[in-house]
Structure 1
Amino acid sequence: MSENNTLSATSSRSSSRTLLTWILGALSIFAPFSTDMYLSGFPLIAQDFNADISQVQLSLSTFFIGVAIGQLFYGPLIDRFGRRIPLLVGIALFIVSSLMILYVPTIEGFVGLRFLQAVGGCSGMIISRAIIQDLYDEQEGAKALSLMMVVQTVGPITAPVLGAYLLVFDGWKAVFTFLVAFGLVCWLVTYKFIPESLPVEQRQKQSISQTLGVFGHFLKNWRFMAPTLAGAFSNAVMFCFITGSPFVLMQLFGMERETYGWMFSATAAGMVVTSQANSMLLKRYTPQRLFTASIIVSLLAAATLVLVRNTDSLWLLMVPLFVCVSMVPMVCANSIAIAMAASGKDVGSASSLIGVTQFAFAGAISAIVGALHNGTSLPMCGMILVCTVLAFVINTFSPKHTARV
């Protein structure tokens, strides 16, 4: 009887942790939902506000700025005041700003509210990682991050399709109505199921100068920065793909829009598979070993991609491209777990710095892919190779790599 009770308790605890991880994953997709869903509605927004497309595009740039600033803001905040309250306040800010966007009369107001929406929405990205670090050790944390990556990677893939249907249904405001509803559901689920994971006695009491010193400490800590930078370059591979693949596949290879959509779904499925494979492999191998192995696989696939980029065979190009993108969740989940394990007591600040680094690198690399556009597949394929080479070099010469592999 005692053994049965123990098994039941273990199963219940495992189910509870799985539910918690799925919720945290959902909280981390506010950003892709808020950007990718409304892209095809730019002309409608410009028309309704009697504005230029360039002014509407500014709302996207403003959102990115809000995410970057918000991530720096939340880290020290949650280390000082705990995880739960800042998370609930951040989601509430996202809901209110999304609702106000439905009634804003000017394009300037729209752009400003997008900034507030980003500051609120990015709370889930930062705080979810901190909660995992609070509750799990490095090995279990990597498993939880792998499951989170399933949700995170599906978000950017499905958001444009969902947004397109909403735009057809009721215009661009339908997208923001959906975001309000999504935010409300997330707030209620967070209120009911997400615990406070940072005890009062473990919270930091730091001045602004001390907080800046914490960030400075992380920047000088190569055990933290090496996996952070390597993971950020690997994460940028997905943004190279998102930026460059529409032209390469639809213009150069003549792929139909419907086929292109199915291809995205297949890529998302590949990312889900590698995320789950990472969780299983972590039962036998350390995050560092899997991190190194996944970077090597990515590097070989990226080199192959560049070699075959001029092929007339779509499938010959798609195989290495699929491998490169599918490996992103495995690389990123283990890189974050390794970096967070080296963060010490300032978990929130560490999570902020990881988020800012990944977001900044992804945005910069995708912009470079666009700027290098020359009517060929080289900008996309070449930047994927550059990102994987840099990730490999950083990991190879990192102290963590030398010490454990």
Structure 2
Amino acid sequence: MKAATVATAAPSTPGDAMGRRQRLRLVLVLGSLIAVGPLTIDMYLPTFPALVAYFQTTSAAVQLTLTGTLAGLAVGQLLIGPLSDAVGRRKPLIAGIALHIVASALCVVAPNVAVLGALRVVQGLGVAAASVVAMAVVRDLFSGAAFATLLSRLLLVMGAAPILAPTLGGGLLRWTDWRGVFVALAVFGAALVVVAVSGLRETLPAERRRRGGALATLAVYGSLLRDRTFVGLVLVAGLAMAALFAYVAGSSFVLQQQYGLDEQQFGLAFGAGAVGLIGATQFNVRLLRRHSPQRILVASLGAGTVAGLALLFFAATGLGGLPTLLASLWAVLAAAGLAMPNAPALALSRHGEAAGTASALLGAVQFGVGAVAAPLVGMLGTGAVAMALVVAGGMVAATVVLLVVVRPARLAGLPADAVVVAAH
């Protein structure tokens, strides 16, 4: 049986009445909202060496600007998720995108790297609104197999955007400098406001909005944090994300400065790694027809740990040069691509009654741990060894948490909806 057919008895939802053209329009609108996050994070990666020279600062300071974006995303999800449950989807979305536009425009005239880093935090807060609301709208309109199908389309967008972002950034640098990247982000944000106002109606009726204020929200978060298995799975997802963001933060320096790739070649190499990650997430659908999510999670983290240690070996010895470094790095990304859908699916399946808040907490931890990983690479240096240490460390730590804290045997009797989510 295909995983997507597990939840065929879902109750009628508002999205069931939508025609094919309406669903396509919804996918385009939500896909645009989902894309702004990866574009904001990754589009300026090729400018890192240029930013070091322009601001006459260190690579660690520039990497902290990436940390700022991830921190803003983490905090923003915790705030905007419950807010959108209380006041509806459209108002937080439009306010968040407007904040992103203003921050992007101000980044263009940032006088120093400290101000740029602060503005990147604000950018992250604005981006969080787009990603949280897009996923909330899907939950409002669909359930069961229809939910999983639409989610799969959005995850493809989420995967494709990081591939395109550095390549787009590198292409812009042929015609402009680093400021042009932030101008492009501001223009994209302005287009998103038009899309949100004209193409997305309110999907959360007043009678379904959550009441109770901050205390009720804190109570839900407290109940989630008391679930050891949930917390462990969230940490596993976050540590796998840390390995990914260590690569994001360090790759521009390693590939451009140490191995001599230009900005366009870097964009292509970065995109190739993202293709492997996306391919693994789609291969996960086939694996779930034969294996459970917990079994795939254990195997993928084991493979990622081996690949991470191999990456560290090749980075330290220089054996095989750039080809072996890239091959082991792409193997880590592929393993992360298998782990990242299954750990959240297992975690969220435990708390269906608080899926929105659980999703916000999961996203906050993922981006929060990533925010720690990015400057750690810069503190250790700009070479391949520094990046490899953090990448391998993330995979090793994720495996240890899974085996010691989560204990895979506890995950027996998995609900069917976890299979659906993991498959998509």
Same fold (TM over 0.5): yes
Which of 231, 236, 240 matches 1:234? 240
Q: Which residue of 1 aligns with 2:167?
A: 161
Mean CA deviation greater in 131-140 or 388-397: 131-140
Structure 1 residues 130 and 341: CA distance shift in structure 2, 3 A: farther
Q: CA deviation at 1:33?
A: 2.7
Is 1:128 the counterpart of 2:134 in the alignment?
yes
Partner SS state of residue 169, structure 1: coil
Q: Which residue of 1 aligns with 2:379?
A: 371
Is 1:385 the counterpart of 2:383 in the alignment?
no
Is 1:354 the counterpart of 2:399 in the alignment?
no
Asked if the contact 1:95–1:183 (Cα under 8 Å) also holds between the matched residues in 2, the reply is: yes
Q: CA deviation at 1:14?
A: 7.2
Match of 2:269, as an amino acid?
M
Partner SS state of residue 353, structure 2: coil
Q: CA deviation at 1:106?
A: 9.9
Asked if the contact 1:139–1:282 (Cα under 8 Å) also holds between the matched residues in 2, the reply is: no
> Equivalents in 2 of 1:303, 1:136: separation in Å?
42
Q: Which residue of 2 aligns with 1:394?
A: 401
Q: Which residue of 2 aligns with 1:5?
A: none
Q: Which residue of 2 aligns with 1:33?
A: 39
Q: CA deviation at 1:112?
A: 6.1
Is 1:340 the counterpart of 2:362 in the alignment?
no
Match of 2:396, as an amino acid?
V
Q: What do the CA deviations read for 1:149-204 (whole angstroms, capped 9, x no partner)?
A: 43334434433332343344344553333223312333343445545444444332
Structure 1 residues 100 and 383: CA distance shift in structure 2, 3 A: closer
Q: CA deviation at 1:361?
A: 0.8
Which of 327, 331, 335 matches 1:323? 331
Match of 1:360, as an amino acid?
G
Unaligned runs of 5+ in 1: 1-8
Q: What do the CA deviations read for 1:281-327 (whole angstroms, capped 9, x no partner)?
A: 44555544443343233233224334444252133333222111133
Q: Which residue of 2 aligns with 1:93?
A: 99
Asked if the contact 2:74–2:366 (Cα under 8 Å) also holds between the matched residues in 1, the reply is: no
Structure 1 residues 107 and 249: CA distance shift in structure 2, 3 A: closer
Is 1:185 the counterpart of 2:210 in the alignment?
no
Which of 76, 83, 88 matches 1:82? 88
Q: CA deviation at 1:220?
A: 1.5
Structure 1 residues 304 and 21: CA distance shift in structure 2, 3 A: farther
Q: Which residue of 1 aligns with 2:30?
A: 24
Q: Which residue of 2 aligns with 1:3?
A: none
Structure 1 residues 53 and 330: CA distance shift in structure 2, 3 A: same
Match of 2:385, as an amino acid?
L
Asked if the contact 2:235–2:365 (Cα under 8 Å) also holds between the matched residues in 1, the reply is: yes
Q: Which residue of 2 aligns with 1:304?
A: 310
Asked if the contact 1:30–1:122 (Cα under 8 Å) also holds between the matched residues in 2, the reply is: no
Q: CA deviation at 1:354?
A: 1.5
Is 1:208 the counterpart of 2:214 in the alignment?
yes
Mean CA deviation greater in 58-67 or 81-90: 58-67
Asked if the contact 1:78–1:348 (Cα under 8 Å) also holds between the matched residues in 2, the reply is: no
Structure 1 residues 186 and 399: CA distance shift in structure 2, 3 A: farther
Partner SS state of residue 204, structure 1: coil
Q: Which residue of 2 aligns with 1:4?
A: none
> Equivalents in 2 of 1:104, 1:210: separation in Å?
39
Q: CA deviation at 1:205?
A: 0.9
Match of 1:313, as an amino acid?
G
Mean CA deviation greater in 27-36 or 141-150: 141-150
User: TM-score, normalised on structure 1?
Assistant: 0.78
Match of 1:355, as an amino acid?
G
Q: Which residue of 2 aligns with 1:294?
A: 300
Structure 1 residues 80 and 46: CA distance shift in structure 2, 3 A: farther
> Equivalents in 2 of 1:282, 1:20: separation in Å?
28
Unaligned runs of 5+ in 2: 1-14, 415-424
C-alpha RMSD over aligned residues = 4.0
Is 1:274 the counterpart of 2:280 in the alignment?
yes
Q: CA deviation at 1:387?
A: 1.5
Structure 1 residues 277 and 137: CA distance shift in structure 2, 3 A: farther
Partner SS state of residue 346, structure 1: helix
Match of 1:392, as an amino acid?
T
Q: CA deviation at 1:122?
A: 1.5
Q: What do the CA deviations read for 1:215-261 (whole angstroms, capped 9, x no partner)?
A: 22222123432221111111122222223334544555555655443
Q: Which residue of 1 aligns with 2:123?
A: 117
> Equivalents in 1 of 2:108, 2:254: separation in Å?
36
Asked if the contact 2:88–2:206 (Cα under 8 Å) also holds between the matched residues in 1, the reply is: yes
Match of 2:369, as an amino acid?
F
Identical-pair percentage: 31
Structure 1 residues 106 and 327: CA distance shift in structure 2, 3 A: closer
User: TM-score, normalised on structure 2?
Assistant: 0.75
Structure 1 residues 324 and 275: CA distance shift in structure 2, 3 A: same
Q: CA deviation at 1:71?
A: 1.9
> Equivalents in 2 of 1:258, 1:172: separation in Å?
14
Asked if the contact 2:96–2:127 (Cα under 8 Å) also holds between the matched residues in 1, the reply is: yes
Q: What do the CA deviations read for 1:350-379 (whole angstroms, capped 9, x no partner)?
A: 22212221111112122222222385x433
Q: Which residue of 2 aligns with 1:220?
A: 226
> Equivalents in 1 of 2:221, 2:205: separation in Å?
22
